[in-house]
Structure formats: structure tokens, C-alpha cells
Amino acid sequence: MKKHIVVLTGAGMSAESGVKTFRDHDGLWEGHDVMNVASPEGFRQNPELVLDFYNQRRRQLKEVKPNQGHKDLAALEHDFKVTIVTQNVDDLHERAGSSDVVHLHGELLKIRSIGNPQDIKFWTEDINLGDVCDKGYQLRPHIVWFGEDVPEIETAVKICYAADILIIIGTSMQVYPAASLINYVQPDTEIYYIDPKPAIENNSNIKVIAKTATEGIKELLTLLK
């Protein structure tokens, strides 16, 4: 029976593909108060601004490709059962070939109706004010905004509980509830943390690899052999 690897990924996973991160000094928050573009209140106050913000991100996503790190994680499926739990809203894990991906914070290439959160559809173009669902409600990005529930968190907790190996890549582990997932693995679970500026110290329970996602994963592959 194959060991089950669970991979938690954050913005640093996609940064090497050219996807701007939210929290870096040159990230997409610059010029915008975060609550203006990533909260239900911001959407109610200025829906056009919020739609444009995510339209720009969706256009950018079409211009980037999975990096070697994404591809190496997908290749792990040859020898392990692999589940990826990502905070990223891009589809780079899927494009690299990963078959089991849980998106905690939603997906940029999906939309939903503001009148029916379960009405979710695949969407690749801009969303404009006046684009409505079949029942006449405005469409919005299928993104978890600040102050909203994280529907997939319970699924992620169950996945982490069943992990034989936990790999954390490119996340500060400061954003909750995602940061709490490390607490749900079994005591004997192997844990690896890959980040060029790790927020967790190397200890008996966690092996820290202070490298970028692509370089860190390359080193990790030698450890897993």
C-alpha cells in the first residue's frame, strides 16, 4: 500500500511561475486596501473594482506555466498517494498533472452566484457587472474572501489526519485556518517544511529545507527515496 503524502502549498509555490504573491512588497495588494478587494464588504461597496482586480489575476494566470516544483510534486504520484491542499487559487498544480487537489481559498477559474453559493461554474474570461446566473443574481469570483467561511477546511483536516508524510511548501503558516492544519497530523507523521525564509524552526519533528519551492522539492525527492 502506497504511503500517503499530503502537501500544503502557499504563494511561494507559484511565485517561481511568475504569479505575484499577495504579501510581498510588489504583490497585488499594493495600491489597494486588502479589505477593499478581498472582502464581502468591499464587493458590496465597489463591485467593479473587485471584479477588475480578479479579472487581472485571471488574465495573468493564462500567461504563466507550472514550474518544475509543480511537476515534481505531480510525479510523486508514481510512488505515493499524493493529496495537495493549497491556499493558492491558480490551477498550476492541476496543469502540472496532480490529480487530487483541494483548494482552501477557492479557484480563480471558477465563478459563483451571489444568490446561491452552490451555483459554481468553470469560467476563464472576465466577470463584468451585469453578468448574472440563471436566476438573475450577479456572478462573483469563486474565492474565499476575508471574513468568509473556508468550506474545504474540514476536508483538509481529515486529509491531514490520514497523512503518513506532511510537506509544507511556500507558506508562512500565519494565515488561519490553513496554518492550523499542521496540528491535525498523527504524532509519528514525517513533516518537511520548504521555504527560503522559514517561519518554523528545524526541530526533532520538522525537517526544514530553507530553499525555494523548486530547489527544496528537488532536495526533498532525495530524502524520500
Q: Any idea which residues carry the catalytic annotation?
A: 105
Give me the DSSP letters along 131-167.
-B-TTSPBEEEEE--TTS--TTHHHHHHHHHT-SEEE
C-alpha 143/C-alpha 38 separation (Å) is 9
Q: Which run of H or E residues covers position 14?
A: helix 11-15
Residue at 54: amino acid letter = Y
Q: Is 15 helix (H, G, I), strand (E, B) or coil?
A: helix
First and final CA of the chain: distance in angstroms? Answer: 16
* β partners of residue 107: 142
C-alpha 31/C-alpha 205 separation (Å) is 40
How much of the chain is in helix, strand and coil states, percent to nearest 5? 35, 25, 45
Query: How many beta carbons lie within 10 A of that of residue 129, not counting itself?
Result: 12
